[in-house]
Amino acid sequence: RWVLNAACRQLKQWRQQGKTDLTVAVNISSWEFIQQDLVLTVRQALERHQLPGEALELELTESVLMADIGNNKRQVIEILDDLKAIGVTLALDDFGTGYSSLSYLKRFPVDLLKIDQLFVRGMIQDTDDAAIVRTIIKLAHSLRLKVIAEGIETGQQRDFLQQQGCDYGQGNLFSPALSPAEFEHRWATS
């Protein structure tokens, strides 16, 4: 909850400074996901900081969703549907490293697939990694999902991903992780 509120508070501040196109992504742990009040907590954080749901992306790993599937798949889908109903973007993080069935992709109302950096790191030298990345991008687009590649370190990786139609990328090639103050400084000077 603290991270969610801190992220929303920071985003509100940036939006008040005119950076209205920014969104923020927050990782959700399996413990947070199974809490009864997750949807309420997210809704209250958005309301408290006067943000639309579209300003927030929640990142869930395959393992978070799969761990809860055994207990009550319907409840998991209900939570995801409720989050989507308030406008939140849902991302399936570290895609390809978990143990989920591909059939769950059509059942879970996610918007984005994030390709794990393990595949991105090896895709230039390893034809199997390249094939996996290419397939994930095609699969996601076939399901009307956007794709983010994690861990992009080189121009060669960026170029390969662009050629495959990857929608977004993140990694040290673009920027290392930044504190809010470092981000503001970089934003002001760019």
d(CA 148, CA 94): 10
- Nearest Cα neighbor of 8 from 68, 59, 51 is 51
Contact between residue 133 and residue 123 where contact means Cβ atoms under 8 Å apart: yes
Residue 158 reports pLDDT greater than 70: yes
Q: What is the DSSP string of 39-54?
A: HHHHHHHHHHTT--GG
In the chain, residues under CATH classification 3.20.20.450 are 1-91
Question: Tens digit of pLDDT for each residue in 162-178?
Answer: 999 999 999 999 998 88
Tell me the backbone φ, ψ of residue 102, rounded to 5 degrees: -60, -25
Contact between residue 88 and residue 112 where contact means Cβ atoms under 8 Å apart: no
Question: Which residues, other chains included, contact 68 with Cβ-Cβ below 8 Å and sequence gap of 6+?
Answer: 30, 33, 34, 75, 76
| pTM across the whole model | 0.87
Question: Tens digit of pLDDT for each residue in 78-105?
Answer: 889 999 999 999 999 888 776 666 767 7
Q: Tokens for 11?
A: 């985003």
Domain 1-91 fold: TIM Barrel (3.20.20)
Residue 147 reports pLDDT greater than 80: yes
Question: Tens digit of pLDDT for each residue in 97-143?
Answer: 766 667 677 778 899 999 999 999 999 999 999 999 999 999 999 99
Contact between residue 112 and residue 57 where contact means Cβ atoms under 8 Å apart: yes
Contact between residue 100 and residue 65 where contact means Cβ atoms under 8 Å apart: yes
